[in-house]
Amino acid sequence: MLEAILLTVITAATPLVIASLGELVTERAGVLNLGVEGMMIMGAVAAFAVTQATGSPYIGVAAGIIAGGIFSLLFGVLTLTLVANQVATGLALTILGLGLSGQIGESFVGQPGIKLQPIAIPLLSEIPLLGPLLFRQDIIFYLSVLLVGGIHWFLFRSRMGLKLRAIGDNHGSAHALGINVIRTRYLAVMFGGACAGLAGAHLSLVYTPQWVENMTAGRGWIALALVVFASWRPLRVLAGGYLFGAVTIGQLHAQALGIGIPSQLLSAMPYVATIVVLIIISHNRRTTLINTPASLGKPFVPER
């Protein structure tokens, strides 16, 4: 019983962790992309559609990553090249993604999906409890763990990561030092989109191997909140993702046990938890200000 619960928590948390990590890198570069939900849903529908067409969920995963990256490129052109408002553009991206994915996925509703099968690591997967939890998972789970370590190293141990953080803290000074602000931000935005697409692919190929309209169900917004919750640090994103994953699965088990609480209220628990966390964080303004990239959401035009 415990093993089954923990497995579902991991499955629920993985897309949140991946999407949050992508947005974290984007925001560290000083760009606020509120279109995570739209990029996730486009990744989900692309992954499902390509998997159905090719019969290979691995090709579907690649398609989800590409779809998220292309959608983020649209955001980049509008906000970085045309200097459109980042908040409005991100919201428009989400609305566009939800509508477009519904149109693309209409013919796939009700079709059985092809699930991305877990990969068992020899010997380690036979360890009681830990084996199935950590060493008998799908490839996207392993990628999420690698992303946490890789992004932490990139941001705090590499020269490129230092440049990216410098842009997020003061893009004017970074430009004066010869750093290509726009190019770096484009790369960060596209990385964030690719991660969101990968998270969406996990939803339609692992979490619920089928296509359901609006299947992201607000997870993109939770991912945005997780970045703030984690104070823009990758290791904290991992902890926060699993915390929110546990809340999501907890409300499902509570409904199954027939606890005398309206099912609508239980379904709202992950989002209530998000609001509560944000309220708690907002009280510690000093910590928030210290960790928030100073140029977050501010447009940059080199000619000015």
pLDDT at residue 304 is higher than 60:
no
Residue count of the chain? 304
Which helix (H) or strand (E) is 140 found in, with range? helix 139-157
pLDDT at residue 273 in the model: 76
Does the pLDDT value for residue 269 go beyond 60? yes
pLDDT value for 84: 95
* Residues 6+ positions from 296 with CB-CB distance below 8 Å: 27, 30, 31, 32, 168
Task: Render pLDDT for 72-107 as a digit per residue (tens, 0 to 9).
Answer: 999 999 999 999 999 999 999 999 999 999 999 999
Q: Which two tokens stand for residue 87?
A: 């908040």
Average pLDDT over residues 39-47: 97
Q: Where are the alpha helices (H) located in 135-233, listed in sequence order?
A: 139-157, 159-169, 171-176, 181-202, 219-229
Report the interhelical angle of 86-104 vs 57-76 (nearest 10°). 150
User: Which structure tokens are listed for 140?
Assistant: 């996207």
Q: Residue 160: is its pLDDT beyond 90?
A: yes
Q: Which two tokens stand for residue 14?
A: 């993985």
User: CA of 54: how far to CAs of 42, 66, 114, in Å?
Assistant: 18, 16, 10
CB 53 within 8 A of CB 85: no
Name residue, tokens 């932490």: 152
Range with lowest mean pLDDT among 153-162, 218-227, 234-243, 285-294 = 285-294
Please, what is the end-to-end C-alpha distance for the chain in angstroms? 61
Using alpha carbons only, give the angle 186, 69, 299 rounded to the nearest 5 degrees. 30
Q: What crossing angle do the helices spanning 181-202 and 159-169 adopt, rounded to 10°?
A: 100
Tokens of 180: 């290509």
Average pLDDT, the chain: 90
Return phi, psi of residue 179, to 5°: -80, 135
Q: What is the CATH number of domain 2-291?
A: 1.10.3470
d(CA 227, CA 155): 15
The DSSP H or E segment spanning 119 is strand 119-120
Q: Which residues contact 122 (CB under 8 A, 6 or more apart)?
A: none
Q: How far apart are alpha carbons 21 and 44 in whole angstroms? A: 17
The 10s digit of each residue's pLDDT in 171-210 is: 999 999 999 999 999 999 999 999 999 999 999 999 999 9
| Inter-residue long-range contacts of 256-261, CB under 8 Å, 24+ positions, other chains counted | none
Which structure tokens are listed for 110? 């009700």
Yes or no: say if 209 and 44 are a contact pair by the CB < 8 Å rule. no
The pLDDT of residue 50: 97
Dist. CA 47–CA 203, nearest whole Å? 9
Rg of the chain taking only CA atoms, in angstroms: 19
SS3 137: strand
Pairwise CA distance, residues 36 & 42, whole Å = 10
